[in-house]
Amino acid sequence: MLNIPHYSIEVKNLSCFRNDRLLFSKIDFSVKSGQLLLIEGLNGSGKTTLLKMLCGLRSYDEGNINFNKQAITTLGDSYTDKLSYLGHKNGNKADLTVKENLTFSSNLKTNIESDFHQLIKRVGLVKESHQLSGQLSAGQNRRLAIARLLVNQHPLWILDEPFTALDTYGITMVKELMKEHVQQGGLVILTSHHDFELAPFTVLKLQLSKQEIV
């Protein structure tokens, strides 16, 4: 179980231009421990760009992003060490097995102990545990990427279309993992074309095209 103190991420008046075109402007939202925010919007509305800004991977033109009331631009590793990002690409090492990928991810941080067998079982890759990632299907690689989220036990999950390539069982599994994460005090910010509920939690929704929280 995660042992997480209270965390919060707050976005104020965030604006972004792409090729001299305004992508979005004056976005405001906040997410705290135990909450999940679903970012929705049309293709090209800037969902992935916004997630990359939240990760510190892309600069923004106006506004502020604060983590626990401090600007993420000043926090450095003390911020990035608390987040896990899953993008469109899974980030798995093709020449490593499922288990080796998890071991490699855990070794990026110190003093982390994980029961890899339980993680592999949880994401449904027991039979593939000694198979190279490069030999897995798209759905299996997505499951492995989800397992890597669990290894480092970071409180903030930022997920770009996490259900991509997953079957119905895989989607249900990811929803259960997100539910457990927020139950334990984690934060989840994601984009998805899947409209979903996460009872008993209220899913906050940011309509990026309309730029409003509902």
State the pLDDT at residue 111: 47
Q: Are residues 76 and 2 in the same domain?
A: yes
Q: Are residues 72 and 176 in the same domain?
A: yes
Same domain for 106 and 71: no
In a domain, 109, yes or no: yes
Strand partners, 8: 32
In a domain, 110, yes or no: yes
Q: Are residues 53 and 116 in the same domain?
A: no
pLDDT digits (tens, 9 = 90+) for 14-45: 998 888 888 888 999 999 999 999 999 888 88
Query: Of 103, 134, 153, which closes a domain?
Result: 153
Q: How many domains does the chain have?
A: 2
Q: 147 and 161: one domain?
A: no
- pLDDT at position 200 is 85
51 and 71 belong to one structural domain: yes
Residue 35 Ramachandran class (φ > 0 left, ψ -120 to 50 alpha, else beta): beta
Answer yes or no: do 144 and 48 share one domain. no
Same domain, 212 and 114: no
In a domain, 201, yes or no: yes
On whether both 146 and 158 belong to a single domain, the answer is no
Task: Find all residues with CB under 8 Å of 133, minimum gap 6, and list them.
Answer: 92, 93, 94, 95, 96, 97, 98, 101, 141, 144
**What tens digit of pLDDT does each residue of 39-96 get?**
998 888 899 999 999 999 998 889 999 999 999 999 999 999 999 999 999 999 999 9
Same domain, 50 and 144: no
pLDDT of 214: 47
Q: Which of the listed ranges 36-45, 103-112, 157-166, 201-210 does the model predict with the highest average pLDDT?
A: 157-166
Domain boundary at 123, 153, 183, which? 153
Model confidence over 96-126: pLDDT tens digits? 999 999 988 886 665 455 578 889 999 999 9
Contact 209, 42 (CB under 8 A): yes
Three-class DSSP category at 171: helix
Q: Can you give the pLDDT at residue 210?
A: 60
Out of 104, 136, 153, a domain closes at 153
> Given the structure tokens 């090729």, which residue do they identify?
19
* 206/177 same-domain check: yes
Q: Which two tokens stand for residue 16?
A: 């972004």
Instruction: Look at residues 179, 154, 212 and name the one whose alpha carbon lies nearest to residue 7.
Output: 154
| Domain of 103, in residue numbers | 92-153
Which of helix, strand or coil describes residue 43?
A: coil
Looking at the structure, do residues 6 and 63 belong to the same domain, yes or no? yes
Is position 87 within any domain?
A: no
Q: Any residues with CB less than 8 A from the CB of 188 and at least 6 apart, and which? A: 35, 36, 37, 157, 159, 178, 181, 182
